Amino acid sequence: MQTEQSAPRKFVVPIGPQHPALKEPGHFEITVDGEIVTAATARLGYVHRGIEKGVESQNWAQAMYMLERICGICSHVHATAYALGVEQLAGVQAPPRAQAIRVLVAELERVHSHLLWLGVAAHEGGFDTLFMYSWRDREIVMDILEGLTGNRVNYSCNILGGVKFDVDQAQADQIRRAIDQLEPRTRHYLKIVTTEESLIGRTREVGKMTHEEALRLGAVGPTARASGVARDIRVDSPYAGYTDFPVRMVTHTAGDLEAKFIVRLEELFESYRLIREILDHLPPGDLAVKVKPRLPAGEAISRVEAPRGELFYYLRSTGSMNPDRCKVRTPSLCNWASVLVTAPGHKLADMPMLIAGIDPCFSCNDRLVTIRRRGNEEVWTWARLRQYGIEYYR
C-alpha cells in the first residue's frame, strides 16, 4: 500500500446501496472536505433484472406485461411506448377513444408520480409532515387508478392496438370529484414550496443547473424544464391522444431545486386541466383494433413523456412471433449526470435533496395480501377491501 505524504487524504462518505435516504439500491461515493462536497460518483445496476433480454423470449403481446414492470411508478408509460412501437410495426393505429384513454391514464399516473415525488423530496429535506400530506393525497389518485384498472401499480391498461377498458359515466364523475379535491391541495403545496422560508432555505439556489449545462448533460423531463429547456415529447412530437388534447409546456428558468418543485407542481395543474378536458370530450368509438400475432419485419422507435422525462423505446422485428430486440432508455438514466456535475461545491446536507431532485425512479410495492381459508372463501368488493385496509390501522 502506498503512503505518499503529498497526496491529500480524501474523506469519502459512502451512500448506499443500503441507506435510509435511498428507497432503491444505488451507490454514491461523495468526497467531502469538511461539509463541502468536492466530488461525487454514482454506481448503478444493483437492480438489473435482464428485462430487455427476457422480452425476446416472450411473444409480442406478453412482452408488454413484462416491460410494464420496469418501473413501479410509471408503468403505464412503458406499456404505452411499447404499444405505440408495435402498432407502428404492424401498421395499425389505435382508435381515437383508446388514444384518449391512454392519455387519461398517463396523466393520472403523472399526478400520482409527482405527488409521490413531492413527498420524497420533502422527506429528504427532513420535512416529514409534507411527505405524509402529499402521500395521503396521492392515495386519491391511486384509488381512481385501482377503480379504473383493478391495480394500484402495473395497471395493464394497454393492449396491442388499443386499451382494454372503457371509462363509464360513474367513473368519469368519480375522477372529476377527485380532481376537484386535489386541485386546492396542490395549490396549497405550491404556496408552501414558494413561500415557506425554512423550505426555501433548502431549495433556492441549491443544485443550480444552467440552461447550457442542462443541454450539454442531456437532461430530460422536469429536470431539464426547470433549467429552461423547452423539451416535452407531449408537445414536441405529440403521440396517442396528445394530438387531440394538446398540453401547455411548463418551464422555469432558475434551474435550482425550487424550480424543480415549481415545474412539477405546475405540471399537476396542467394534468388536472387535461384530465377534465378528456373526460368532457371523450371521443366515441371502438376501444381496440386487431393486431396479428406475427408482425412484419422492421424497426420502430417510439418516444413518450414519462413523469420523469423522455422515455425511449426501440423495437426490431424479424417477422416472427416475438421481438428480436427491444431497447429501453429510461429518463432517470439521462438525468444522473446532472446530479453528479452540480454536486461539487454544495454541502453534504444538500446531497439527498439533489439526488431526489431528479426524481430517480423508485419501485413501489403492491400492498394487497389475500388470506384464503379452505372452504370458507368469500368475494370482497373493492369498496369493502379498501375499507378493510383503512380500518385495519385504526
Partner 1 sequence: MSLTVIVQIALVFVVFTALLLSAAAAVYAERKVAASIQQREGPNRVGPGGLLQPFADVIKLMFKESLRPAGADRFLFVAAPVISAAAAFAAFAVVPFGASTTLFGLLDEPVRLQVADVNVAVLVVFAIASMSVYGIVLAGWSSNSKYSLLGALRSASQMISYELSYGLSLASVLLLGNSLSLTEIVNAQAGTWFGIIPKWFVVLQPVGFLVYGISGIAETNRAPFDFPEAEQELVAGYHTEYSGMPFGMFFLAEYINMVTVSAVATNLFLGGWHGPLLPESLGWIWFLLKVAALMFVYIWIRWTLPRYRYDQLMQFGWKVLLPVAVLNLLVTAAGVVYFGA
Q: Which residues here bind partner 1, judged by CB under 8 A? A: 11-14, 19-21, 35, 122-130, 132-133, 136, 196, 198-199, 201-202, 347-353, 393-394
- Cell numbers of 26, please? 444505488
Provide, rounded to whole angstroms, the least separation between the CB of residue 199 and partner 1.
5
Provide, rounded to whole angstroms, the least separation between the CB of residue 112 and partner 1.
18
Provide, rounded to whole angstroms, the least separation between the CB of residue 166 and partner 1.
34
Provide, rounded to whole angstroms, the least separation between the CB of residue 344 and partner 1.
16
Between residues 52 and 196, which has the closer beta carbon with respect to partner 1? Answer: 196
Between residues 14 and 285, which has the closer beta carbon with respect to partner 1? Answer: 14
Provide, rounded to whole angstroms, the least separation between the CB of residue 308 and partner 1.
20
Between residues 14 and 319, which has the closer beta carbon with respect to partner 1? Answer: 14
Provide, rounded to whole angstroms, the least separation between the CB of residue 213 and partner 1.
23
Between residues 42 and 160, which has the closer beta carbon with respect to partner 1? Answer: 42
CA dist 282 and 276 (Å) reads 10
Provide, rounded to whole angstroms, the least separation between the CB of residue 139 and partner 1.
11
Between residues 197 and 280, which has the closer beta carbon with respect to partner 1? Answer: 197
Provide, rounded to whole angstroms, the least separation between the CB of residue 204 and partner 1.
12
Provide, rounded to whole angstroms, the least separation between the CB of residue 125 and partner 1.
5
Between residues 35 and 366, which has the closer beta carbon with respect to partner 1? Answer: 35
Secondary structure string (H, E, C) spanning the chain: CCCCCCCCCCEEEEECCCCCCCCCCCEEEEEEECCEEEEEEEECCCCCCCHHHHHCCCCHHHHHHHHHHHCCCCHHHHHHHHHHHHHHHHCCCCCHHHHHHHHHHHHHHHHHHHHHHHHHHHHHCCCHHHHHHHHHHHHHHHHHHHHHHCCCCCCCCEECCEECCCCCHHHHHHHHHHHHHHHHHHHHHHHHHHHCHHHHHHHCCCCCCCHHHHHHCCCCHHHHHCCCCCCCHHHHCCCHHHHCCCCCCCCCCCCCHHHHHHHHHHHHHHHHHHHHHHHHCCCCCCCECCCCCCCCCEEEEEEEEECCEEEEEEEEECCCCCCCEEEEECHHHHHHHHHHHHCCCCEHHHHHHHHHHCCCCCCCCCCCCCCCCCCCCCCCCHHHHHHHHHHHCC
Between residues 35 and 299, which has the closer beta carbon with respect to partner 1? Answer: 35
Between residues 136 and 216, which has the closer beta carbon with respect to partner 1? Answer: 136
Between residues 75 and 134, which has the closer beta carbon with respect to partner 1? Answer: 134
Provide, rounded to whole angstroms, the least separation between the CB of residue 122 and partner 1.
7
Count of Cβ atoms closer than 10 Å to residue 384 Cβ: 11
Between residues 169 and 198, which has the closer beta carbon with respect to partner 1? Answer: 198
Between residues 20 and 284, which has the closer beta carbon with respect to partner 1? Answer: 20
User: Could you tell me if 363 and 73 are in contact, meaning their C-beta atoms sit under 8 angstroms apart?
Assistant: yes
Provide, rounded to whole angstroms, the least separation between the CB of residue 314 and partner 1.
37
Q: Residues near 367 by Cβ (< 8 Å), separated by ≥ 6?
A: 152, 389
Locate cell 408509460: which residue? 77
